Structures are given as C-alpha cells and as structure tokens.
Amino acid sequence: MELSHKQIESLKEMLAQPCLRIVILSHTNPDGDAVGSSLAWAEVLRARGHEVTCVVPNKYPYFLDWMPGIEEVVVFKTDTEGRAVKAIAEADVLFCLDFNAVSRLEILSETIQGNTTARRVLIDHHLQPDEGFDIVFSHPESSSTCFLVYCLVEAMYGTGAITRRMGELLYVGMMTDTGNFAFSHLTPELFRAVAVLLEKGISIPEIHNSVYNAYTEGRARLFGYAINRKMALIEDGTVAYMSLLESEMRRFQFQQGDSEGFVNYALTIKKVKMSAMFLAHRKFIRISLRSRGDVDVNLFARKYFNGGGHKNAAGGKSFLSMEETIDHYIRSVREFAEEGHLG
C-alpha cells in the first residue's frame, strides 16, 4: 500500500502546530477496527502534545470493554454532560476514522456540520469516500483502518513510535476486520506489521480470547436460535439470509454487538456464496451482507439497499417491514443472479 507523500507532508505540517484541539470520530455501531484505530491514533496525537477526544455515536460492543483507554471514549448517545458537543464545537481538527461519509455518523452528523472551521482529515478503507475533507487517506486496498493507521505512523514517525498499548489496539482492528486473518487484502505488509506488534510485546492469544471468547450466555443461545430457526437458503442453496426481530432479541437479553459474526456463519456452508443478516431496530432494519470470491456485495448493497462497503462485506438499511424487506431481498437476489453476478 502506497501512501501519498503530499498528503503525509500536509498532515505533518498540520500536526506540527502546538496544542491542537482534536476530535477523533468513528461510525455508528463502532466495531473493533473503529475503536482500535481511534484509540491508537489518539495515543499518537497525545504523544505530540495535542488535546484529543474520541467520540462515537453510540455504544461499542461490550466485548471491547477491556481495550486500553476505552474509558476515554465519549458515547454521544448517552453523553448527558455534553462533552462531545463541546469538544466538537471547539475542535481545530476533526479526524474521521473508519467511515467514508458524514452520514455514517447518523445521530452525530448534524453536530459535526455545526463546526465549519475545523480542518477535516479522513483515514479510511471503504470505497467511494465523500468529498469535503482537507486531507484524505482513503485506501480500500487496506484490510482495516487499523492497518492504515499503522502505515501512517510508520511513514511519519517510524515504528519506534508504536508502544505495546498502541499495538494491542491496532491488532484488534487488524484481526476483526479480516475475520481473524481469513478474508481478503491479506498482504505481506499486513503480516510484517503484525510481526512488529509482536515485537512490541502484544499477546495474540490474550487479545483473541478477550474479543472472541467473552460473550454472554444470552448471545450463545441467540446464535443457536438464529441458525436453527431463522436461517434460510435460496437460489439452489447458494444464497442465505437470517433475520431477527426486536422481540426475538429481547428474549435472549440482546446487547450491542451480540449479533456480530452471525452473517458470516452461512458462508461456512460449501455452496453458499452470499449471506445476509436483517436486524430490526426501532425505526429501520439494518442489513449486513457478506460474500466470498467474486460475488460483489458492495454492488448489491448500493443497487438494492442504498448502502455499500467492500466487495465481500457491505451493509445497508431498509425502512420497510421485516417481511417486505426479506421479499425485496429475495427479488433482488434473483435479479442479481440473472445478471450473472452470482457466478
């Protein structure tokens, strides 16, 4: 992955100013990559004397509670003290990590638009970023934003600037966004970065255990219910989907992050090339899409669900009922297949 020398120099020049007030933002339903990259980048900036606040629109999953520095993250949805609003209004720089459009901030979007003087820097690995950023590091070829942050730090300050604490944060995003190093964009550079993090003293078994083996009993039972009762196969068994209503999630004491990874499970079935998860929220249905090989769910999400993402991992929304959403999905898959996109 080749970073723009011009953009790096612009960023270095910006950060050479003393005592900047900086806010690091990440997307709604922040995951390991969003949280890990934000906290690691915050460490870099604070080491250079800047005042940094990390803000997310809503709560991160409980299995990330152990991450170093996570207690410093301000959750906008539950921020009764107004810390996020104040920090954003006073910010000299807004760093946007792990999302490509301000709309991905959802309930936080309007607050961001209120600060028209702060410089905006994008550090992200999703396709087709919005315009309006002063400095842009947009690299869809990167497996994660955490790997992109690692490359930025290496290019700007050298790997000597990476501490063990930062290494733990960066590894979480590298691990989770690649499905524990099983998905695409697995480059030699990525594994060389992991080797550096190991040299910093991180414990891969401990991090893996903290993320993947820290679920609740309710989550385990919900997973069994979703696979046994809610998974359906269509298109001669090559496409799968499952859905969960709010009432079903309540039965299993659902917490933010409990459905993480459900959508991937159908892809363990040999014939399945594409999988969808429909998760009901109060005002809409959140859709997660996964695929393997040449099946492009980014294209599918953009065409049928006003969403997007990566070739093999994307998402969208539906404002229809669950039944109508699933009917639309089935019709869309049929059309997608007829156009030759399912191979």
Q: What is the pLDDT of residues 34-92, one digit of tens each?
A: 999 999 999 999 999 999 999 999 999 999 999 999 999 999 999 999 999 999 999 99
200 Cβ contact list (under 8 Å, min separation 6): 162, 163, 164, 166, 167
CA-angle at 19, arms to 15 and 25, nearest 5°: 65
Q: Which residue has tokens 């049929």?
A: 334
* Prediction pTM value: 0.92
* pLDDT value of position 60: 96
DSSP 119-150: EEEEEE-SSS--S--SEEEE-TTSS-HHHHHH
Domain 217-338 has CATH 3.10.310.30: yes
Question: What is residue 289's predicted lDDT score, i.e. its pLDDT?
Answer: 97
Q: Would you state the pLDDT for residue 182?
A: 87
Contacts of residue 323, Cβ cutoff 8 Å, sequence gap at least 6: none
CATH 3.10.310.30 occupies which residues in the chain? 217-338
User: Where are the CATH 3.90.1640.10 domain residues in the chain?
Assistant: 5-211
In whole angstroms, give the CA distance from residue 92 to residue 107. 21
Instruction: Please say whether the structural domain 5-211 has been given the CATH code 2.40.160.20.
Output: no
pLDDT profile of the chain (343 residues), mean per 10: 94 96 96 98 97 97 96 96 96 97 92 93 93 95 97 97 98 96 91 98 98 95 97 98 97 93 95 97 94 95 93 94 98 96 89
